Amino acid sequence: SQELEQSPQSLIVQEGKNLTINCTSSKTLYGLYWYKQKYGEGLIFLMMLQKGGEEKSHEKITAKLDEKKQQSSLHITASQPSHAGIYLCGADKGRGSQGNLIFGKGTKLSVKP
């Protein structure tokens, strides 16, 4: 069965620093989603990637999907305390999946002021 591995598991950065979170799949990704979860709260949608080589940006966050569609990265530029939280990657379970997503374990990000 498909697994999503996220690295690192946790990350502490100084405010203003850049950081990258990775998500690697054991199988080809048909849809890759990045979410942010604050402690005890719901998942906030960040970005969706579907095509090999695709890259999307929103404010200071950039997500990429590699050409082989097995790895994605999330890059935050000039981190701020508001970026702190748990970042989850999720993927469609199959080509015809209609919202049945599998998730990674998450990367816990702390930003020191």
Partner 1 sequence: EPEVTQTPSHQVTQMGQEVILRCVPISNHLYFYWYRQILGQKVEFLVSFYNNEISEKSEIFDDQFSVERPDGSNFTLKIRSTKLEDSAMYFCASKPRVDSPLHFGNGTRLTVT
How far apart CA 72 and CA 23 sit, in angstroms, is 5
| Residue 42 in contact with partner 1, rule: CB under 8 A | yes
Distance CA 68, CA 95 (A): 15
Taking the complex as a whole, the smallest distance from the CB of residue 65 to partner 1 amounts, in Å, to 14
Give one word for 64, left, alpha or beta, with left for phi > 0 and alpha for psi -120 to 50: beta
- Figure out which of the listed residues 1, 82, 95, 99 binds partner 1, where binding follows CB under 8 A: 99
Q: Does 65 contact partner 1 by CB under 8 A?
A: no
Q: Which of 13, 20, 24, 43 binds partner 1 (CB under 8 A)?
A: 43
